[in-house]
Amino acid sequence: MSNSLGTDTVSDRQSQGTVRGEGASAPSPRPRVAARRRGRARMRLEITVLSAPAILMFVAFVIFPVILAAYYGFYRWHGYGPATDWVGLNNYKLIFTDPAFQQVLWHNGVILVLSLVIQGPVAIILALLLNQKIRGRSVIRVLIFVPYVISEVIVGTGWSLMLQQNGAVNDLLSHIGLGSLQKDWLADPKLAIWTLMAIISWKYIGFAVILMLAGLQSIPDELFEAAALDGASYWQVQRRITVPLLGPTIRIWGLLSIIGSLQLFDLVYIIWGEYVSGTAGTSTMAIYMVQQGRDAGNYGYGSAVAVVMFLISMVIALIYQRLVLRRDLKGAVTEGAS
């Protein structure tokens, strides 16, 4: 029973290829149409059953809260009872005129650009290196992913202990004769953002490498063999074949990195805390949101900040999609990567 129904779409594609089961035994058009219709219904049922749970879950806990934030953003609301104090666009006006918000916006921008510029090239080169046939490759892979596997809280706790003025980093510097390089890594406003970038790069580059390696796995051997037969050198092969074919992976990584930069919270919150991050110059939009929203009890204002963050992320992501990702999302997977 199930076979004749299941084959329906396939037979469609085969342009009237022989339909098995009922179709084959009854060549008149009527039963065939009926079978196909039943196949459609079954396909629709399969689609619904398979996708409904994920869609429901996603809409209820991802989309709906964002809509809710848009609603509360128009109110002065302290989190209890229904929101009644409509303030129109006042919250948004306050956000955009608050110098503190302009500051965190700038920090997020710096983090976004530096993350792409630092991590991208390094990750590609490391993935190419680690994709070679070298001894202990799987051990190496496990070890470089360690920072990514560790939680932000632990990374933050560990680094803030090490980077204290009397911490391990400064101690190590004085031991190896570089005592003049000792710095107040966390509190110096000129330095703190670079300290943060170093920690971010250390933490997330393993993820970039994991993605790039997975992308490298999907490039067929035949291409390398053909290039090798044509006498191309290792680096020529990498530059002309591997990196272009890795394009979709690199572009997806770029999007993930951008979104991650825009929502950075945990590391800054753990290492600097919401108040010190302001003076050290590392506070982010998310820190601002938590500080002004939850901790100040202004859930309406916090929601408005959330909406602003969301809109900024969306605009950047849409531009990125238009300019960079368009090819990948248009079935590039089946049509070849470049």
Partner 1 sequence: MSTSTYLPRSSAARAKKRGSGDAERPHKWGNPITYLVALLFIAACIAPVLYIVVGGFRTNAQISTSPAGLPHPWVFSNYTNVLSSSTFWGEFGNSLVVALACTVGVVVLGLMVSFVLARYDFKLKGAMYSLFAAGLMFPMVIAITPLYIVIKDLGLIDNLAGIIIPEIAFGLPTTIIILVPFLRAIPKELEEAASLDGTSRIGFFVRMVLPLSLPGVATVGILTFIGSWNNYVLPLYILNSQANYTLPLGVQQFSSQYSEDTAKVLAFTSLAMLPALIFFSIFQKRIVGGLTGAVKG
Residue whose structure tokens are 């991208």: 120
Distance CA 148, CA 298 (A): 34
- Residue 253, interface with partner 1 (CB under 8 A)? no
Task: With beta carbons less than 8 A apart as the criterion, state whether 182 and 170 touch.
Answer: yes
Residues 189, 22: Cα–Cα separation, whole Å: 77
Q: Kindly state the smallest distance separating residue 193's Cβ from partner 1, in Å.
A: 19
Residues across the chain: 338
Q: Distance between CA atoms of 162 and 157, rounded to whole angstroms?
A: 9
Nearer to partner 1, 142 or 189 (CB): 142
Check residue 17 and report its DSSP letter: P
Nearest to 245 by CA among 253, 233, 237: 237
- Binding residues for partner 1, how many (CB under 8 A)? 111
The site string for partner 1 over 144-183 (x = CB under 8 A, - otherwise) reads xxxxxxxxxxx--xxx-xx---xxxxxxx--x--------
Tokens 């993605």 — which residue?
211
Candidate list 36, 141, 183, 327; residue touching partner 1; CB under 8 A: 141
Q: Give yes or no for residue 82 binding partner 1 (CB under 8 A).
A: no
Out of 15, 16, 97, 138, name the contact with partner 1 by CB under 8 A. 138
Least Cβ distance, residue 129 to partner 1 (angstroms)? 5
Contact between 323 and partner 1 by CB under 8 A: the answer reads no
CB 312 to partner 1: min, Å: 10
Tell me if 303 contacts partner 1 by CB under 8 A: yes
Nearer to partner 1, 3 or 28 (CB): 3
* 22 lies in the site for partner 1, by CB under 8 A: no
What whole-number distance in Å separates Cα of residue 8 and Cα of residue 44?
12
Q: How far apart are CA 221 and CA 133, in angstroms?
A: 14
Residues 218-247 that bind partner 1 (CB under 8 A): 218-221, 224, 228
Name the one range near partner 1 by CB under 8 A: 23-31, 57-65, 95-103, 187-195. Answer: 57-65
How remote is the C-alpha of 152 from its chain's centroid? 16
